[in-house]
Amino acid sequence: MDKKKVVLTGEDAVRQSHDKTPKVALTGEDASRQSPAKTMKIVLTGDRPSGNLHIGHYVGSLATRLQLQGDPNYEIYILIADLQALTDNAHQPAKVKNAVMELMLDYLAVGLDPQRVHFVLQSAVPALTELPMYYMNLVSQARLERNPTVKNEIKSKGFHKDVPVGFVNYPISQAADITAFGASVVPVGADQAPMLEQTREIVHTFNQLYGETLVMPTALLPTKACCRLVGVDGNGKMSKSLGNCIYLKDDATTVAQKVWQMYTDPNHVKITDPGQVEGNVVFMYLDAFYSDQKHLAELKDQYRRGGLGDVALKKLLTATLNNLLAPMRERRAYYEQHRDEVLGYLRAGTQHAINITNQTVQRVRNAIGIFQL
């Protein structure tokens, strides 16, 4: 699959004056990962451990992470947000706990390199629970409830007046995650942009009240329109809760079965019938994953004229997806047999994160004027 091109979204000029990456003193192994002559941009991204990752995650965020990890100008933190996962899984904490290792296996399988990125467990980093206490005083409950992403998530989860406080306050926790690492770059999908904007508001308010302390983050958005995949059933986005996903860990047979079930054009009964490309799930996936765009354009023209069957298209898509996933399956098989190694990567990244975020907490305490013993 082709690498996704990304573009930084600009904000107003006043806030851009805050876009500075903090310099941190690194020692030992950490120092070897950063050139002393160059200040790296800090990137924070991550996922909630609520299940395995799917190919929608790949086009939406993982491909961007793979691109960034090859750029020496970035230092990347990948957060496993287990505390945030509990905001709508409080009654099934075992699900969240078990998903942490599954998420690490997915990360390593897709090709994320522990020598180039830091894997971090949210619940093990004290700063990420302290900073929200300070930020809660800088935003109103009404503003949180107006956040479009929060409103949509409340609706999708079926919450009404019984929505947990932690779920509504999710943007505050996310602001703590981003600012704790001094992240100046945050890869997000279009649906998550309002969350980052709320972080920017909190940073702006904090810096106005207490002086320039926090780094103003900027969004990194995929430019490709297909970055948000529909499910294999054609309904909404690909979602674990809807059961319409192709997972990164799916074997070749499972992938073929799921592709075979995909919606195409109900009026395209015979091969000779003209078909509709727009809204055709198979073509949506080929747009996202098939690298030969010239050939794909020819296939679309042929399908519209008639003379191209759905079976041939689904075979092409199946082969395309399995070519992408085959090396991931091999890497995952290795790491499933070496879980101690996987856990070691998570522990090392988390310890490094604790050292970095503790510095941020101290700066925040000093800026506010918290009494210190």
Confidence bin at 38 (pLDDT 50/70/90): low
The stretch 8-31 carries a mean pLDDT of 36
Residue-wise pLDDT for 94-105, tens only, equals 999 999 999 999
Residue-wise pLDDT for 42-77, tens only, equals 999 999 999 999 999 998 889 999 999 999 999 999
The stretch 271-300 carries a mean pLDDT of 95
The H-or-E segment that residue 75 falls in is strand 74-80
Residue-wise pLDDT for 316-327, tens only, equals 999 999 999 999
Helices (H), ranges, the chain: 13-16, 28-32, 55-57, 63-69, 82-85, 93-110, 127-135, 141-146, 148-157, 165-168, 170-180, 193-210, 252-260, 281-289, 293-305, 310-336, 339-368
Asked whether 179 and 213 are in contact (CB, 8 A), the reply is: no
Q: Which two tokens stand for residue 332?
A: 């995952």
pLDDT score of 264 more than 50: yes
CA pseudo-torsion sign 83, 97, 118, 153 = negative
Percentage of residues of the chain with pLDDT beyond 90: 69
User: How much is the pTM?
Assistant: 0.84
